[in-house]
Amino acid sequence: MKLDQKQVARLEEFLAGIKAATYPEPASDLHDGITTQMLDRLWTRCTLPPGGRVLDVGCGQGVALKHFIARGLDAVGITLNPVDVQESVKRGFNVLEMDQSFLDFPEAHFDLIWCRHCLEHSVFPYFTLSGFFRVLKPGGWLYVEVPAPDTSCNHQRNPNHYSVLGKTMHACLMQRAGFKVIDVVDINFGVALGPDTYWAFILQKP
């Protein structure tokens, strides 16, 4: 299927509207704590080479980037929000303004992609995951964490969430994109509204 110029223009206009609706993601105790917890679990599953390349998708203002750098990894973050880019650069992080679905990196470039609470913002997650697969090295790792639907927080009602899918649907899309599912974790916790759940997927490119 080849898009004509009108179709391309329509898609670009649609994506521009999504970009305009993004919001800054400053650090919080909740997300900092879960990031530390899940990185500890990830390192029990995968080993990266010294100075390995890491892509932090939807990096916010560096919640995970600081961990990668402290580990001696070559980390770059991407986000669509210009405020997050500015704040991250001020903190000394290598962060680019880039859409997760249109990665401007070479094939087989990264050893690890960290995608925490970003895939649900994709309007076409299967396409996005296929892009992750392309830029990962064979044997490379992918961490994806997404909010579960229908909890007390009703993440599916967030106007910036476009793909709050069921757990098995997420896993199926990841497998269709070429990934092997290594581990799936239910992250259960409480907030002011009540109980909430995130799902974490540790995946590998064969």
Domain extent for 132: 26-204
Q: What is the pTM of this model?
A: 0.97
CATH of the domain at 187: 3.40.50.150
One-letter amino acid at 138 equals P
Residue 155 belongs to a domain: yes
Residue 15 belongs to a domain: no
Lowest mean per-residue pLDDT among 18-32, 83-97, 102-116 = 18-32
Residue 135 belongs to a domain: yes
How do residues 106-130 score in pLDDT, each as one tens digit?
A: 999 999 999 999 999 999 999 999 9
pLDDT, averaged across the chain: 97
Contact 153, 193 (CB under 8 A): yes
User: Average pLDDT of 141-158?
Assistant: 98
Residue 96 belongs to a domain: yes
Count of domains forming the chain: 1
